[in-house]
Amino acid sequence: MSTEAEEISINEQFEELINSEDKAPLREFLNHLNISDVADLIYDYEDYEEVIIENMAVHRAAGVFKILDIGPQKRIIKKMPPHKTAELLNELPPDDRTDFLEELPKAAIRDLIKLLNHEERKITLSMLGYPEDSVGRLMTPDYVYVYKYQTVEEAFATIRKVAKNSETIDVIYVINEEGELIDDLRIRDLILAPPYKRIEDLIDGRIIALNVHDDQEQASQVFKMNNRVALPVTDDNNILLGIVTIDDMFWVADEEYSEDIQKIGGTEALDEPYLDIALHKLIKKRVVWLIVLFLSEMLTTTAMTFFSDEIEKALVLSFFIPLIMSSGGNSGSQASTLIIQAMAIGEITIADWWRVMRREILSGLLLGAILGVIGFCRIWLWHFMMSYGIIKDVYGEHWLLIAFTIGFSLIGVVLWGTLSGSMLPIVLKRLGADPATSSAPFVATLVDVTGIVIYFSVAYIFLQGVLL
């Protein structure tokens, strides 16, 4: 990445060149910059974003375009003339082109696909035909394959002939005459092998492949567990269709992380950058969860209404309702976030539910006990200060029973919060739903309602016949 001084220099040079009638110096300047620096220029000079792309060599323009956010991508395509758009789209790798097109309205997709040449159009339509979150949307058909009967020397001849347009040549794929995947070979294995050696003598049969219909998040786990830079993609008949590379998996991991964070925050996942998404779409993404949470919180009001007589008899109990509710909600949110994150990276599975429950029972009891002691000490300290006339007497002669009520209520509410927060994501996963939808606000709302019930139930035990 450029330093701050270099960025200032690059911007100054660009401002000087962009206003010149002769665009040759501008093209030379842009084509010698790092791709990331050109992307920064596009973000800094939105009014000239399409001019920047148009004045670059097409292969470098494609390299810049694919790393931009969807907002600038849409604006550039809209501003550029059709022939320049056609050049850019045809130059983009199939997986990056498909990723961009799937973010557009159907009418726009149809218009842009018409600009592709026959071969690229065929590839794009094929990839767009796969489910949205499937490996088929990520794969590229640009890879190198050889036949098992070839020699190492013949394999290198094939590599020299076709590898220029391939996504990667770190891995070479071995197929038979029917196109079925047999194995893959690292390029180092070919380099170190004698030229006369046959490919079939080098393979070991330990092939790891993805199915074209596999979920992208599942594929990301396969990459992680097997430490691969690329994996082949086959159909149900083991025909090699393409490959998925590690950079695609980085993109998937980033997308999944962003979606989970947004869902944990109590909103639907945004399909576009925050500043680019239309206001009505942003409202639509947020309002559903707010309505659900609002209706859920009405249950809290109902629960408090049910205990209205008790609150009227012992007004002092109402002082601690926010304390009890927030403690349970916070502990539930903590547990929910920890479990969702652990499930996302494969640390725990549905089968680990009992181990998780045991840990959360113990954690809930200990955390609740700690908060309960603090709550007890708070009431004791308040009573101590009241006894010396420092502050107004609020708790009266039954301060000790109130202190025990708060202490044990906190244990119960925090325990319930940790159990709810940890088990709800696992239950949703078992039902086939996204665990992230058991967002922290939802868990907090659930614990609020039950926390009121737990609080007044404990109050009955300690204060019945005294204040209640």
Instruction: Give the pLDDT confidence score for residue 441 in this predicted structure.
Output: 64
Nearest to 124 by CA among 156, 99, 154: 99
Q: Is 249 helix (H, G, I), strand (E, B) or coil?
A: helix
Determine phi and psi for 198, rounding to 5 degrees.
Answer: -85, 150
Q: What is the mean pLDDT of residues 329-354?
A: 84
Model confidence at 344, pLDDT cuts 50, 70, 90, reads confident
pLDDT of 249 > 60? The answer is yes
**3 state SS of 234:** strand
Confidence band (pLDDT; 50, 70, 90) for 438?
A: low
Q: What is the rounded CA–CA span in Å between residue 281 and residue 105?
A: 14
Query: Strand 240-245 to strand 171-175: parallel, antiparallel, or no bridges (unpaired)?
Result: unpaired
Contact of 10 with 36, CB cutoff 8 Å: no
* CA–CA distance, 281 with 218 (Å, rounded to integer): 29
Mean pLDDT, rounded, for 265-294: 70
Bridge partner residues of 215 (DSSP): 134
| Non-local CB neighbours of 201 within 8 Å, separated by 6+ positions | none
One-letter amino acid at 94 equals: P
Residue 311 has pLDDT above 80, yes or no: no
Q: Please write the tens of the pLDDT for every residue from 219-245.
A: 888 887 887 888 899 988 898 888 888
Contacts 24+ apart (CB under 8 A), 79-84: 79/49, 79/50, 80/50, 80/53, 80/54, 82/115, 84/53, 84/54
Contacts of 206 (CB under 8 A, 6+ apart): 183
The predicted pLDDT at position 153 comes to: 92
Nearest alpha-carbon partner for 55 in 4, 21, 100, 93: 21
Instruction: Give the DSSP H/E element, type plus range, for residue 41.
Output: helix 35-44
Q: How confident is the model at residue 411 (pLDDT cuts 50, 70, 90)?
A: very high
Q: What are the tokens at 19? A: 């206003």
Residue 7, token pair as written in the block: 């960025």
Mean pLDDT of the chain: 83
Look at residue 213 and tell me whether its pLDDT is greater than 70: yes
pLDDT reported for residue 257: 67
d(CA 280, CA 77): 23
Instruction: Catalogue all structural domains in the chain, each as residue range(s) with its CATH number.
Output: 4-129 (1.25.60.10), 145-245 (3.10.580.10), 279-463 (1.10.357.20)
Which residues lie across from 184 on neighbouring strands? 173
Element (H, E) at 231: strand 230-234
How many other β-carbons are positioned within 10 Å of the β-carbon of residue 95?
A: 26
